[in-house]
Structure 1
Amino acid sequence: MFGKNKNNAVTQDAVMQALSRVQEPELHKDLVTLNMIRDVAIHDGEVSFTIVLTTPACPLRAQIEQEAIAAVKALPGVSTVNVRFVADVRQDHRIIGRLNIPVKNIVAVASGKGGVGKSTVSTNLAVSLALDGAKVGVLDADIYGPNIPMMFGLSGRPRIEHDKLTPFERYGVKVISMGFLMPEGEAVVWRGPMLHKAIQQLFTDVNWGELDYLIVDLPPGTGDAQLSLAQSVPLTGGIIVTGPQAVSVSDALRGARAFERLEVPILGVVENMSGEIFGSGGGMEAAKKLHVDFLARIPLDPQVRIGGDSGEPIVVLAPDSPTAKAFRDFARVVAAKISVQNVAPQPQLKIV
């Protein structure tokens, strides 16, 4: 019988054969084919192995663990199964060679208009990924109204070492913003080449270190900043933030069309501030019109405003609240979509 030796003891081959029947639920390939199994050890019926996830924010980790244990425990001679998890985030291969920074994925968060909580979404997305164990940075590219410093409770000027800016770090996230480099309250009126150069330097002249995800908070609208960003760096994907109202949906569609024209994959739509006051459903409607995934519905919650003012994202301020849990789930969905895209890139659907 395959996998047995002459002493009728389970073998490494048998374990790998069993695990080859366990599918990664979102990549739709088995764990062995995806090279996700490491360090198989067998001792007196006790089997141990490591599963290498494609993101530490894997939303289906529990399912993978249960199915892997069941598959191996079904082998004759196995009494105990121990599973360890590590993560190796897959890289967007378009980034290799384009940027001289060790960043695996760059995700832009955009909206067609202001006032929908785009910076709040960017902040809680980044902190949620960091809480799950990912290496994360936030680049505040909202040149005209940088809010990320307030969201993280940061101020002052970053240090310069070896001709590069050293980002601030809080909640496990590295943060850089034009807000750190300008006098407080000063308006920026850059356009065209000046804006393009400023955004490019926020990538190349900052010592980001190794990052799994760099979240870029874009200014609202579809102007020079979006164009400069898409021309400067290869974006792994864009996330569209909308409110529940019809007017927000209309603006979100315009923002998505800008991504499409710039050939940026749209990861999906998130509806922010959903609830009794503003209603709900706008995000789902926008996603349907764009033929992309609806990523999350984030409830309207006064604690989000309190945390934003005090520099404490709600996933830190009130981690057990429904809104914090919605943000954590949202981040895991985004991480999973990036993993799927990097393993098997999907063609970008045209918006109709």
Structure 2
Amino acid sequence: MQLVVTNKSTFPGSGHYGGHWTGDNCSTFTDLANSISAVLDFNLFGIPLVGADVGGFFNTCSEELLIRWMQLGAFYPFMRNHNSHPTEAGVSEPQDPGSYSKDTQAILADIVAVRYSLLPYLYTLMYDSHTKGAPVVRPLFMLYPKDKKTYVIDEQFMWGSTLLLSPCLHEGETSVSAYFPYDIWYDFFTGERLTRVGTIIQLPTPLHSTNIHVRGGSILVTQTPARNTKNSRNNPFGLLAALDSNHIARGKLYWDDGEVLDPVQTKQYNLIRFSVEEGCLTTTIDMLGYTKYSMKLKLVQIFGLYVPPERVLVNNRPASFTFTEDHRVLQLDKLDVSLMEPLSISWS
């Protein structure tokens, strides 16, 4: 399943062998915004591992532009900060994070940490693309084909069917006009449920923040981030379950060692399904062919619980938990259980 080659020139079918970067762009907010359409197009072409040069290839990238581009680029399937050597046409100043202020570096580190925490979900989307041809990055109209308002949206996009990204793409702006189709949506960071849907909402987006929302009915797997993927592989996992109107949610995790060239064919991978129904989260292990790491689960968050639970059981044993009244989030953050064994978490 590994995709190890990225190209600037590709053709139909190239996505089976490698990825694509969108070519030489410029350090402008226009090119920042246009990159979304390019990433969406190539996913529809069957080339899911795609991204633009974060910060722009030509010219000089301002601190504001780099922050906004990193906040978007963290959700390109293929992410890299890349620019040109000095040329007669225009000098490109260094745009690596270390070339900017400490405040900017902190903002950039935060968004990269979010990307790293979501790598298990991204990897699972890549598995679905590999086995089913499903796009990793999707336009809203793919999920809501009957909603004509989604047909013209090119400044928002989905990761799979779960995460809705609404980046800030315009210079000097600190808010985003975002459209939310009729559905249940939660703020990824707080678990707060949106009260207005089917309309455009103005989202405050100061320079240090970006907008990520979770679709109700979804379960995604996260992992404590580290400085690189080799180290993060040793870290514990988390589960985020966002309930729909019937208090149901579904999700899955694909996981392998990241090194075997075709783990799907050789069955050297794990495939775990998650389900929430009737106040209980359970796992089903479809495939267990990779056991090098323990795959410990430490954190579970349940978004959208209207009734505060009085007790929580993990594999039929009482467990400590917290519940936030304002955003209706149940959280267990001291777990020490294995995802490679059947799991049951119930609340009442």
Instruction: Specify which structure has the higher proportion of strand.
Output: 2
TM-score by length of 2: 0.24
- Higher-Rg structure is 1
Instruction: Specify which structure has the higher proportion of helix.
Output: 1
TM-score by length of 1: 0.24
**Greater RCO (Cα-Cα under 8 Å, separation 6 or more):** 1
